Chains A and B, each alone.
Chain A
Amino acid sequence: MYVAVKGGARAIENAHAWLAEERRGDPGVAELSVAQIRGQLTLAVDRVMAEGSLYDPDLAALAIKQARGDLIEAIFLIRAYRTTLPRFGAAYPVDTGAMACDRRISATFKDLPGGQVLGPTFDYTHRLLDFKLAAEGETPPAARAEPDPAAMPRVTEFLNQEGLIQGEAHIDTSPPDLTREPLEFPACRALRQQALTRGDEGFVLGMAYSTQRGYGRNHPFVGELRVGTCSVEMEIPELGFAIEIGEVELTECETVNQFAGSKTEAAQFTRGYGLVFGHGERKAISMALVDRALRWRELGEDDSGAPAQDEEFVLQHADNIQATGFLEHIKLPHYVDFQSEVELVRKLRAAVREAPDD
């Protein structure tokens, strides 16, 4: 006689045990420490923090270890943990103009106050596998310069002084919080940027790339890209004043984009803006391009029908945790819906067979 398959609970437990074994890998090879991941896979840690929307390198490193290096799975672990954290308050907006920069470049000016600082970049490396790394040799220390105490003013501020770039309205009200309120359309720019900064790097990159190839082109220049640390300040109600509660590494990109103007309005460049946790240049630049593309309405441009201009399309599909969950859920049993379709198809086929030829 037929007996339905049972034992779901036991199967799950065994699968989890096997998973833990696979994660550990060959026990003859030393186990990775969280500190090693944090210290040596920093760009992976940064991506997990950025898309996990939680600035904590130790937790991100732990998540990467637990996820066997699957960064989307690691981001998911961080997001699920983040939800459970109580909120003590909101920090002041960080002042990226006062960033202690490790890297700061502009593609629009050859030289500028504060200078071009290449910093730790892959940009001019030759992408040749370095077999010395396989030999686990120590890396010689890099040359060091004394930090330049000169300020690094924002590039867009130079343009702003001349009125060459459109100014941004200063908004005093608190921005809405994507993680506490349901997404609603049309979404304000602050909300769009939240969705982009925690959006999937690959998705945002693809959207940005599509604008460069003509699907909503907006002629971007990297006005400035800066990577460094910013202090985070928060007002403590009991104290009545703000104190520094820590610092975060950030990557910021401001693009200078195609100008707008008419016979009555003087021509001005426009801006796109990207900001992510950690060192994430690809993501920050992509975000700036997509941010700019989504601003077509407020800047009086035409909707060319490009995907990157479509706020609902971009925002509803940028989140890799939503996307991967829904995509992978089709692994779950669907016998019931499938059965109902099978039955319908059988019925429709029978109806065709029985129908008199005409």
Chain B
Amino acid sequence: MTDDLREYNFAYLDEETKRMIRRALLKALAIPGYQVPFASREMPMPYGWGTGGVQVTAACLVPEDRLKVIDQGADDTTNAVSIRSFFARTAGVATTERAAEATLIQTRHRIPETPLREGQILVYQVPIPEPLRFLEPRETETRRMHALEDYGLMHVKLYEDIARHGAISTAYAYPVKVAGRYVMDPSPIPKFDNPKLESAAIQLFGAGREQRIYAVPPYTQVVSLDFEDHPFEASKPDHPCALCGATDSYLDEVITDDAGARMFVCSDTDYCATRQAGGAA
């Protein structure tokens, strides 16, 4: 496998494909939160496993980059391992597990706890980029809603949640409005991560199967949709991390024995390891 991949172009994709993706990325930055259609290519990993993120990363990587790949916040989950080794082979870039050292981070379902800085790019893998899709399955309809800035359907949905459950019942992929115009799906990150969408880093979103690319430039206003009497709350399990003691990080719940005993540990493995080593995260 290793040798097979060396025969492909730098970062796997051919130059024409990269140009097409790069043009889409620039327009995505110019229209924050708007989903730019792009002719997603078939990648050597399945749709749904990060092909959109992989294509965006491939179009952005330079040899000087230091790449970090996380899935569920962890560097050692199998799909993160697989994608990281793909780029280590095809682009020859250095890799790291340290968020602070990475120049490009590809992620699935989390934003690192360590605040990102200028000079960093965060690439999200997106399964369903259209925030209105589960309310209206038709692309022709949702496109019209975005064009008219008609987000009434989304507000009705959130309001019905409140009527039924007493709270907005969206826990992840919580919709946001970007730069006061487009409603955007932040990918299935827990809503705990939503406040981190306002960042100093460049955030790029790739949905391969659905053929969409979108972006949030640095320092861009990102507002989680809510109501005055039911304001958005970035919640998480009310425990400290059992390993590092952090009270400000998102936690995985781990079942530890047959009796159902459980513990809570940081989902961001780099953040947790850094804290355990006594370093400032």
| Residues on A facing B (Cβ under 8 Å) | 1-2, 4-9, 11-12, 16, 76, 79-80, 82-84, 86, 179-186, 312, 316, 321-322, 324-330, 332-337, 339-344, 347-348, 351
Contacts and interface: CB of A to CB of B under 8 A. Distances in A.
Interface stretch (B113-121, B150-158, B176-184, B261-269): B261-269
Interface of A is mostly: helix
Contacts of A185: 139-140
B151 to A, nearest CB: 21
B42 A327 contact: no
A339 B235 CA distance: 11
Contact of A325 (B49, B73, B169, B265): B49
Interface stretch (B98-106, B187-195, B222-230): B187-195
A94 to B, nearest CB: 24
Contact of B77 (A76, A80, A312, A333): A333
Interface residues of B, number: 68
A336 B251 CA distance: 8
Interface stretch (B26-34, B198-206, B252-260): B252-260
B167 interface: yes
29 contacts: A4-B74, A6-B76, A8-B76, A9-B85, A80-B42, A82-B42, A182-B38, A185-B139, A312-B137, A312-B138, A322-B47, A324-B46, A325-B48, A325-B49, A326-B47, A326-B127, A328-B46, A329-B48, A330-B48, A334-B188, A335-B72, A337-B188, A337-B190, A339-B250, A340-B171, A342-B253, A344-B171, A344-B235, A351-B166
A185 B108 CA distance: 29
Nearest to B254: A2
Interface of B: 1, 8, 12, 14, 17, 37-44, 46-49, 51, 71-74, 76-82, 85, 108-110, 127, 137-140, 165-167, 169, 171-173, 188-192, 209, 211-212, 235-237, 242-243, 250-254, 256, 263, 265, 267, 269
B71 A332 contact: yes
A9 B267 contact: no
